[in-house]
Structure 1
């Protein structure tokens, strides 16, 4: 959720990065939310008060996400922090941490806390973080139930006493499947390299007509509307593969129906083939669907992309014959565009 991207939440509420002029409202919301919680009766130290008030500092350490209602009011917030930054408390190198997940007392119980947590997971995923971690007080039973329902795992090694009257429980949500490959959002200065990668990936399998080639290499333009993901070698940073997904709440192609996630432009650098990069990227899309609470992933592919078809078959995708159509070229020739789909489900190892 970078570059001020907006995602729908509940009943006209949207989640996006905090904007200039909202810091005071965001900090005040945190105070109200925590006062209504299980630790609201305890005195607040100066260090904690300064942390809550420092919206700009938390944003500089990562990202401050806010939930904004239809009237523009801030009704929720979460701070996603990079490991080793000043406000990170339990994250280890390579991880991200979420703190101060807060919902206005009048909106609690609406599911907004879950939406903010999902948005925080996606933010950390975009950074390429190995995991998102957090801690919460032992008395905060509602929060514990939420994190466990969303798939966080208890990490007892990081449990700690936060204060004289507060013991914390730590949770961790793994975001990367492999130690040797990191999947993250493309950086702006990588657009040309990704365009070269995806063009070479497609050209290795079949001849590209000028129109399709132009569509494939329009990576910078694509990133303005959608999410361009890259798989990079964890040791060297070399770009190995790419895939594009829509931003939350949107679709990229007619193949996707309401409540589904589609993806396009899956490509693996020719030199990186046989390393499982294509499978890693497809499983990444399935994981992204689960983060968003989406049940199904769908896609189109051409009849010549036999390697991709074998990959989809192996990963449990099935043909959606009713969604297939004939693609007609400007010269009148054409081919049958294939459609595949799979429930996001629980990913297998």
Structure 2
């Protein structure tokens, strides 16, 4: 989750990166949630108290997210940390770790814990982390049920005793389906290269008119409004492919309806074809939909995009005939814009 990204929860609560003037309120939420939890009766070490109070330090290690109510009050928080940083405890190289998922006792029971966990997953996905990991006390069965419901799996090899009377259990959520490819958010300095890649990918399949070509190559502008993802070689960093999705709660095209995620501008570099890069990017979109709690992934594609249509069919997408329409070119010619969709809740 980048600094300009926020998501609005059902009751008007917004989850977003913390602002400097919210540090004290954020720490207070952590203290209150801990006191109300299954370990609130235990004495707190000075090291733990300092960790909870060091909002700036946690932010320097990654990102601090807050849930802010309609009245502007901080009612929840989560710290997403990079592996190897000062406050990371169980993450291995390439992973991200979330700690201090906390909801003010007065706001508990409304699903904010799940929303903060989903936002933490998306922040780790932005970075291209291989997984998001976390640990929680063995007595915190309510939290464990939440993590399992969201798709985290136990990693008992990392369990440990982390304090007097506190046994830690570890959960992991995989974020990258392949070891040789990393999918992450595009960096600003990659916009020109991504524009060239997607232009070449589309021009290889059909002739582009000036208006559509301009839309395809407007990558920097698109990244300001939406989310531009890139697939890169895990060893060399070579740019292999790209796809774009909307921010949480938004859409990129009329094909999407409530509870759905649409995506556009799927392209693979000519030299990376036949490596499964297109499939990896579509799997990434499906994963993003599940992280956001959405039911379906949808898209439009042109009749000339035969390779893309074969890919969608192979991955379980089916035609949405009722959402298809006739697209008229500036020269008066036209074609049928196809629509596809599939259930995001099925394994990619």
The TM-score normalised by the length of structure 1 is 0.99
Q: Distance in 2 between matches of 1:257 and 1:194?
A: 28
CA displacement at 1:96 relative to structure 2: 0.2
SS in 1 for 2:20: coil
Residues 1:93 and 2:112 are matched in the alignment: no
Corresponding residue of 2:81: 81
Residue 55 of structure 2 corresponds to: 55
Work out the CA distance in 2 between the residues paired with 1:10 and 1:40. Answer: 29
SS of the residue 1:285 aligns to: helix
Residues in 1 aligned to 2:3 and 2:231: alpha-carbon distance in whole angstroms: 20
**SS at structure 2 position matched to 1:22:** helix
- Give the match's secondary structure for 1:33: helix
Q: What's 2:168 paired with?
A: 168
Cα deviation, residue 19, structure 1: 0.9
Q: Which residue of 1 aligns with 2:229?
A: 229
Structure-2 residue corresponding to 1:177: 177
- Distance in 1 of aligned mates of 2:309 and 2:11: 39
Q: Secondary structure at the match of 2:253?
A: coil
Q: Secondary structure of the residue that 1:297 maps to in structure 2?
A: strand
Q: Which residue of 1 aligns with 2:341?
A: 341
2-structure distance, mates of 1:54, 1:278: 42
Q: Partner residue of 1:36?
A: 36
Q: Offset of 1:79 from its aligned partner?
A: 0.2
Q: 3-state SS of the aligned residue for 1:119? A: helix
Distance in 2, Cα, partners of 1:133 & 1:346: 22
Equivalent residues in 2 for 1:113-124, closer than 5 Å:
113-124=113-124
The residue number in structure 1 matching 2:3 is 3
Q: Distance in 1 between matches of 2:99 and 2:218?
A: 37
The CA distance in 1 between the partners of 2:59 and 2:335, in whole Å, is 49
Aligned to 1:308: 308
The C-alpha deviation readout for 1:81-100, integer Å capped at 9, x for no partner, is 00000000000000000000
Unaligned runs of 5+ in 2: none
CA contact (8 A) 1:29 1:75 kept: yes
What's the counterpart of residue 321 of structure 2?
A: 321
SS in 2 for 1:169: strand
> Which residues of structure 1 form unaligned runs of 5+?
none
Root mean square deviation, CA, Å: 0.8
Q: Tell me the distance in 1 between the aligned counterparts of 2:346 and 2:255.
A: 23
Q: What does 1:134-173 correspond to in 2, within 5 Å?
A: 134-173=134-173
1:331 deviates by 2.1
* Shift in Å, 1:177: 0.2
- Superposition misfits of 4+ residues, deviation over 2 angstroms: none
Per the alignment, residue 283 of structure 2 pairs with: 283
Structure 2 counterpart SS, 1:287:
helix
What's the counterpart of residue 193 of structure 2? 193
Counterparts of 2:94 and 2:264, CA distance in 1: 28
The equivalent of 1:244 in structure 2 is: 244
- Aligned position for 1:266: 266
State the number of aligned residues: 348
Q: Secondary structure at the match of 1:342?
A: strand
Deviations 1:120-148 (A, max 9, x none): 00100110000000000011110011011
8 A Cα contact 1:58 1:87, kept in partner: yes
Supply the distance in 1 between the matched residues of 2:226 and 2:347 (Cα, whole angstroms).
24
Which residue is 1:108 aligned to?
Answer: 108
Aligned partners of 1:336, 1:292: CA distance in 2, in Å? 31
User: 3-state DSSP class of the match of 1:21?
Assistant: helix
- Contact 1:181–1:233 (8 Å) recurs in 2: yes
Q: Distance in 2 between matches of 1:334 and 1:258?
A: 29
Distance 2:170 2:345 in 1: 26
Q: CA deviation at 1:3?
A: 2.4
Q: Which residue does 1:25 correspond to in 2?
A: 25
Shift of 1:335: 1.1
